[in-house]
Amino acid sequence: MHNRSSGASMRVTLIKSVLTLVIVACTLELVPPAQAQTYTLLYKFSGGDGEQPYGRLIPGSTPGTFYGTTLGGGSNFAGVVYFVTTGGQEAVLHSFATPSADGRSPQAGLIRDSYGNLYGTTQYGGAYSYGTVFMITGTGQEKVLLNFDRYNGQQPISDLIRDGYGNLYGTTKEGGDYGYGAVFKLASNGSLTVLHNFNIGQKDGQYPYGGLVQDPSGNLYGTTISGGTYNQGVVFKLSATGQETILHNFGAVSDGKQPNGDLVLDSYGNLYGTTNQGGTHFTGTVFKISATGQETILHNFGAYSGDGARPTAGLVRDASGNLYGTTNSGGLVGSGTIFKLTSAGQETLLHSFVYADGSGPNGALVRDSAGNLYGTTSNGGYGYGTVFKVTP
């Protein structure tokens, strides 16, 4: 009897050991591969120099220099345009004023022309309090190029793009003829054309939080955070004359929902982006849309413990087709992540924020010629946001 009991006990122990090995093996399959990388905290905002940098950085003409915006802070508490170096030096080029006709609260990043002039948007302020498009010279001299009046758009929060003729294109998340946002073109001579007014009555998208990308033929592509067949957002194409085509409606079963970052376009016409919600684990996705509108989900966030969640920014793509981005939350302590995704959808976690080094990244990354990544977090550091560098 004693021997039979011992044999049974040994069999139970053996079964438990096998199950443990199986569980460990399955867990290891869920964890992304390790990759050596270096995270460097370049700058921590303190309020008077700006706070809550939501927009992405743009490289300056001098290597190791970047320009950006903050939503708040500065001498008037209405946001700033700033200059920062990889050595950790920061300077404020312009503090937005309130309640004057100047814009305030820029959420988007900047673009730069060949003369060093910077262009961007503010979501509030201006002559009618509905936001502006502005230009700032390299010495900090500002000029308001456009005052939104609600009818031509309201609350621009996305990056502008600029074509070879100096025309600027962008979106407003609200306003326009129907109140659901608009796509606009601001010509180099100052004339404004509203290319599209988003509408609720035709299964159109609504509220474009993200910016635009343009192909060589002049077509524009973007996303809306809601609207469409399932009311969870769309990917749209707009011809140079304003003819709209809906390429994809988000919100079907296991699909992503509510895309609010900029898209990336490759040489084959494929578009890449993120959704803030939806997917298998309900915490967002990375997607690919072909030129004909065929969608592929490349990654569902929340696939393993410590994975990122709820990306709000777009992506950056290298020459090998790898995608890099951030998530606003998730990670080891819930403060967000930086990730790399291969073209086949294999994810590598490059950094998990821990508040002291940044928290809640909202802007897209920028990549230099050596492959280093730079970005901002809207919180963390001293509590006002940070600028960081990652060497993958």
- Indicate if the pLDDT at residue 200 is higher than 70: yes
Name the pLDDT band for 95 (thresholds 50, 70, 90): very high
- Tokens standing for residue 210: 């993200």
The pLDDT of residue 293:
97
Name the pLDDT band for 388 (thresholds 50, 70, 90): very high
Distant-in-sequence, close-in-space partners of 139: CB < 8 Å, separation ≥ 6:
none
The partner residues of 317 in beta bridges, in order of sequence, read 323
Q: Give the N- to C-terminal CA distance of the chain in Å, as an integer.
A: 62
CB 43 within 8 A of CB 386: yes
In which residue are the tokens 């802070």 written? 73
CB 119 within 8 A of CB 134: yes
Give the integer Cα–Cα distance in Å for 86 and 228.
Answer: 43
Give the residue from 126, 114, 120 showing the smallest Cα distance to 56: 120
Q: What is the mean pLDDT of residues 34-42?
A: 81
Give the integer Cα–Cα distance in Å for 207 and 179.
Answer: 9
The pLDDT of residue 36:
60
Give the integer Cα–Cα distance in Å for 49 and 43.
Answer: 11
* Span of 31-35, 129-133, 303-307, 340-344 with lowest mean pLDDT: 31-35
Give the integer Cα–Cα distance in Å for 154 and 176.
Answer: 7
Give the residue from 222, 220, 219 showing the smallest Cα distance to 211: 222
Report pTM: 0.91
The pLDDT of residue 37:
83
Cis amide linkage into residue 99, ω under 30° from 0: yes
The pLDDT of residue 202:
77
Q: Could you read off the pLDDT of 290-342 as tens digits, one per residue?
A: 999 999 999 999 999 999 999 999 999 999 999 999 999 999 999 999 999 99
The pLDDT of residue 383:
98
Q: What is the mean pLDDT of residues 128-150?
A: 96
Q: Could you read off the pLDDT of 262-294 as tens digits, one per residue?
A: 999 999 999 999 999 999 999 999 999 999 999
Q: Quick one: 239 exposed, middle or buried, by C-beta within 10 A (0-12, 13-18, 19+)?
A: middle
Give the integer Cα–Cα distance in Å for 127 and 314.
Answer: 31
- Tokens standing for residue 244: 């709209």
The pLDDT of residue 99:
78
Q: What is the mean pLDDT of residues 69-73?
A: 98
- Indicate if the pLDDT at residue 175 is higher than 50: yes
The pLDDT of residue 35:
56
Q: What is the mean pLDDT of residues 149-173?
A: 97
Q: Could you read off the pLDDT of 346-384 as tens digits, one per residue?
A: 999 999 999 999 999 999 999 999 999 999 999 999 999
CB 57 within 8 A of CB 74: no
Give the integer Cα–Cα distance in Å for 80 and 76.
Answer: 9
Q: What is the mean pLDDT of residues 248-275?
A: 97
